[in-house]
Structure 1
Amino acid sequence: MLGKNLKKTEPNHEKENYSLRGYLFFWVGQLFSLIGTLVSGFAITWWVTDITESAMLLAIGSFLFLIFIVLFTPIAGVVCDRYNRKLIIFMADTFNALIMGVIIIFFYVGLTEPLLIIIINGLRGIGQAFHQPTVNAIIPSMVPKKNLSRINGVNYLLTSLIQVVGPMIGGLMYAFFPFEFILWVDILTYGFALVPLILVHIPQVISEQNKSLVLTPKKSFIKEFKIGIKTIRLIPGLLTILLLSMLLNFLFQPLNILAPLYVKVDHMGDENDLALLMACVNGGMILGGVITTIKKKWIHKVTVYFGGLIIIMASALVYAFAPIGWLLIASIIGAFSFMFLPIVNTIYVTILQTTVPKDKMGRITSVDQTLSYAIMPIGALVSGMLGDFFGTRLLFLILGLIGTFTVILVWQFSGIKKYDYNDEKFINQITENIKNGST
């Protein structure tokens, strides 16, 4: 009766169940889980680097993780729009914890072949493929629209803070604790994350169209994925940004994958130097997250977005020219560049969340991640080959130049700079086009 009365008194308003406090409680649990993931991931990465000094093995590890994300993310997006999102997150987190448990057992019984550990650890990409789109999809259903930009900024801020602390903890633990003990941190933090996940109510947003999809399991996943692609094409400028992201993700793979080798070989550093490099870069991301949290509205979204990308890609040039012994200085300069990463991400995610209907957010998020990640496995393998052929310094120089000039050319000739995502009429027209074109 109460529900019926509310419906009568507010006939012109969409009934929504926002739970901002619940979302923040849930996200705290996810941050605890992220700490364990970063600590164990750092330990495994440095262990492989320290034992093998092989760019190719590091590349293979990244390739396996990314290829599973690319293969399963399209399915994951459709699944999180059809079924219980809380259950999906639980299953994804549990799967990754079980994989880490297998790795721990392997070390206890003496199965410590680096390639074997890399292959098993790569399976965690399957869990990540289901976890990330689902977590992203629940945000608009739990956070009021007016708070989306700020909450996205807080997310990047807290995530960046954890990404500073995680590797530092991993570096310290690697120096003082047995390797197997470090991996147990991932299992422990998984347990912490379960508590808010179980207690918090996560709304399930299912439109009439999605209800029919639930009742007709023979509906093609490919067909639903195409709905997501069609929706993206109805948002002016979004496809251009996605294609640019694919290229930049490809170019950025060597920076991510070969960073341990860059520290150990080019600068003759150890695990603490790698942790320091990662801490400086993520420290810049924290500052960027603070800026996105404080700033309520970006007047020139597209201009700031492309300007930030140029600065980020130019950071590769800093690492290319940094002489031996200047790793700290290069890291500080890199921190300034990566300060713009949460800014450009917040702008992009806010555009996405304010133009896409909630019941299609899972599919759009999965398409977004699939297209962005699609080229990354190739980039991972190429990183290993190019890293061995050119060396990290020359490779960073080449990729930095290519990335910087590519962003400038897209900005100048694609026509994207004419779109104003702060114009309410423009946003409303996009929303109407999506409703009419994807039903």
Structure 2
Amino acid sequence: MQTFTFIWSGQVVSLIGSGLTHFGLGIWVYQNTKSVTLYALILLCGTLPSSLISPVAGVFVDRCSRRWVMILSDFGAGLSTLAIASLLFVDKLEAWHICLASAASSTFSAFQVPAFTAATTLLVPKKYLDRASGMIQLGQGISQLISPVLGGVLIGIIQLQGIVAIDVVTFFLGTIPLLLIKFPEPKTINASHTEALKKDSLLKEIIYGWQYITARPGLLGLLILFATNNFLMGSVGVLVTPLVLSFTSSAVLGMIVSVSGIGMLIGSLIISTRGGPKRLIHSVLGFQMLGGLSILIAGLRTSVELITLAAFLTFLGWPIINACAQVLFQKKVAPEMQGRFFAIRQMVTDTSFPLSYIIAGPLADNVFEPLMSPNGSLAGSIGQIIGVGPGRGIGLMFITIGVLAIVLSIAAYQYPRLRLVEHELPDTI
């Protein structure tokens, strides 16, 4: 685990820097525009390019050195952030600049994420894959815990310009372990078939990667589950900042984000130290149901305490869900196919995020918020239960999303190929 831990530490440093920037820019965009739709558009630009280019990126990950794919991806993302820093320093930053930079970072992420995931399978012994996946979630939890608190302090000292400059430095620090360590190459089960694939066109390789997934209904079912769940969670991601800022301050928002980071940190520590349970799929579905219940609770009242509790519980289960699913994929997919598989997985699951961004913002601004205004159509019925006024339409959306997430978990358990995926598919490593 030492080699993996060294690489992981560099990625965590980079994650913290990115978290600082995302927190600062998120507040800057919403406070300067007051538009949920525009806020959602920027999130869309940060995910859509990755979704579109992922199949091609996966082929390159399997064809090329996964280490160099990660190095070049980190370098490109650092340059995108550097562009934002430059515009901030000359006081020329506008929302469309952030859209362009987010799109560029998303493109580089399409290469970096499957390369890191596939490389982990080669760097870590099979029996420690669950702990490695937990450490990846732990790094995200550390970032979510530290970044809002640190960002809230630094924004008053060095302003947004200084925060983005720190992010640029952390991007390049994250590449140092990658420059110092060589990655092992995947051992192929059918070398002649793999070599033949490399001589095919990109389109044929992409098609073969998709055929590999569809031939395994349990994996396909897990992909569809994540795509649907990501749509729901993407909607929550768009709406949580406007919901909280509708009745309290950005400082409280930072506190809530930090508490969610504590939940993610605890969940990550559980999975990284204890490993996964015997039935991984049970943890995936069980904690997804807990997340749905928490989201439902968050929409009931304009209560900081209630939303904070819901955020903690949601993010407590999030790293456990992701780590358990990740181990399932790593064990069941052949190493020489993992670049393509994880890229297609990223495309399928991440496409639901842009869709949620497109839908959630306009629904909040044009449908749910008017319905829950003091004179809205639902003010005399649902409004008597959850309240009326700014943010209550978003609260109703949270309740709806929570109910859908619970129903999704129950329906997924009823599908035998998904419920029995651990027994029906043999391990490939």
Find the partner of 2:142 among 161, 169, 183: 161
5 Å-filtered alignment, 1:15-54, equals 20-54=1-35
The residue number in structure 1 matching 2:304 is 327
For residue 195 of structure 1, report the CA deviation from its aligned partner.
Answer: 1.7
5 Å-filtered alignment, 1:107-256, equals 107-205=88-186, 207=188, 208=191, 209-214=193-198, 216=199, 219-256=200-237
For residue 346 of structure 1, report the CA deviation from its aligned partner.
Answer: 1.6
For residue 420 of structure 1, report the CA deviation from its aligned partner.
Answer: 5.9
1:254 alignment partner, SS class: helix
Q: Separation in 1 of the partners of 2:234 and 2:108?
A: 21
Whether 1:260 and 2:237 are equivalent positions in the alignment is no
Q: Separation in 2 of the partners of 1:65 and 1:90?
A: 20
For residue 329 of structure 1, report the CA deviation from its aligned partner.
Answer: 3.7
The residue number in structure 2 matching 1:408 is 410
Q: Separation in 2 of the partners of 1:301 and 1:202?
A: 28
- Amino acid paired to 1:405: V
Q: Separation in 1 of the partners of 2:114 and 2:133?
A: 15
Unaligned runs of 5+ in 2: 369-392
For residue 304 of structure 1, report the CA deviation from its aligned partner.
Answer: 2.3
For the structure 1 residues 162 and 70, does the alpha-carbon distance in structure 2 shift closer, same or farther, using more than 3 Å as the test?
Answer: same
For the structure 1 residues 296 and 35, does the alpha-carbon distance in structure 2 shift closer, same or farther, using more than 3 Å as the test?
Answer: closer
Whether 1:102 and 2:58 are equivalent positions in the alignment is no
For residue 38 of structure 1, report the CA deviation from its aligned partner.
Answer: 0.8
- Amino acid paired to 1:383: A
- Amino acid paired to 1:331: T
For residue 336 of structure 1, report the CA deviation from its aligned partner.
Answer: 2.0
For residue 93 of structure 1, report the CA deviation from its aligned partner.
Answer: 0.8
Q: Separation in 2 of the partners of 1:109 and 1:301?
A: 51
Q: Separation in 2 of the partners of 1:220 and 1:100?
A: 33
Unaligned runs of 5+ in 1: 1-19, 433-439
Q: Separation in 2 of the partners of 1:240 and 1:420?
A: 9
Whether 1:276 and 2:255 are equivalent positions in the alignment is yes
Q: Deviations over 1:203-260 (max 9, x none)?
A: 232643444444x3xx222221222222223334221121121112112222112222
2:174 alignment partner, SS class: helix
Q: Deviations over 1:329-376 (max 9, x none)?
A: 421233123211111212111111111111111111111111111222
Q: Separation in 2 of the partners of 1:304 and 1:190?
A: 33
The residue number in structure 1 matching 2:383 is none
Find the partner of 2:279 among 300, 309, 317: 300
**Which deviates further from its counterpart, 93-102 or 295-304?**
295-304
TM-score by length of 2: 0.88
The residue number in structure 2 matching 1:349 is 326
Given that residues 78 and 224 in structure 1 are in contact (C-alpha distance below 8 angstroms), is that contact kept between their aligned partners in structure 2?
yes
- Amino acid paired to 1:415: P
For the structure 1 residues 420 and 197, does the alpha-carbon distance in structure 2 shift closer, same or farther, using more than 3 Å as the test?
Answer: closer
The residue number in structure 2 matching 1:81 is 62
1:298 alignment partner, SS class: coil
The residue number in structure 1 matching 2:382 is none
For residue 403 of structure 1, report the CA deviation from its aligned partner.
Answer: 2.0
- Amino acid paired to 2:239: L
2:92 alignment partner, SS class: coil
Q: Separation in 2 of the partners of 1:336 and 1:138?
A: 31
Across the aligned residues of Structure 1 and Structure 2, the Cα RMSD in angstroms comes to: 2.0
1:374 alignment partner, SS class: helix
The residue number in structure 1 matching 2:270 is 291
The residue number in structure 1 matching 2:341 is 364
Given that residues 73 and 129 in structure 1 are in contact (C-alpha distance below 8 angstroms), is that contact kept between their aligned partners in structure 2?
yes
For residue 262 of structure 1, report the CA deviation from its aligned partner.
Answer: 1.5
- Amino acid paired to 1:59: A
Q: Separation in 1 of the partners of 2:155 and 2:108?
A: 25
Find the partner of 1:55 among 36, 41, 44: 36
Given that residues 277 and 328 in structure 1 are in contact (C-alpha distance below 8 angstroms), is that contact kept between their aligned partners in structure 2?
no
For residue 416 of structure 1, report the CA deviation from its aligned partner.
Answer: 4.0
For the structure 1 residues 298 and 277, does the alpha-carbon distance in structure 2 shift closer, same or farther, using more than 3 Å as the test?
Answer: same
Q: Separation in 1 of the partners of 2:202 and 2:187?
A: 16
TM-score by length of 1: 0.86
Give aligned-pair identity as a percent. 24
Q: Separation in 1 of the partners of 2:25 and 2:58?
A: 29
For the structure 1 residues 154 and 113, does the alpha-carbon distance in structure 2 shift closer, same or farther, using more than 3 Å as the test?
Answer: closer
The residue number in structure 2 matching 1:338 is 315
Q: Separation in 1 of the partners of 2:37 and 2:49?
A: 18
Given that residues 81 and 210 in structure 1 are in contact (C-alpha distance below 8 angstroms), is that contact kept between their aligned partners in structure 2?
no
Moved over 4 A (4+): none
Whether 1:385 and 2:362 are equivalent positions in the alignment is yes
Given that residues 22 and 201 in structure 1 are in contact (C-alpha distance below 8 angstroms), is that contact kept between their aligned partners in structure 2?
no
- Amino acid paired to 1:90: I
Q: Deviations over 1:14-68 (max 9, x none)?
A: xxxxxx3222111111111111111111111110011112101111001111110
The residue number in structure 1 matching 2:71 is 90
Given that residues 260 and 274 in structure 1 are in contact (C-alpha distance below 8 angstroms), is that contact kept between their aligned partners in structure 2?
yes
Q: Separation in 1 of the partners of 2:278 and 2:81?
A: 44
Q: Separation in 1 of the partners of 2:113 and 2:421?
A: 28
**Which deviates further from its counterpart, 57-66 or 253-262?**
253-262
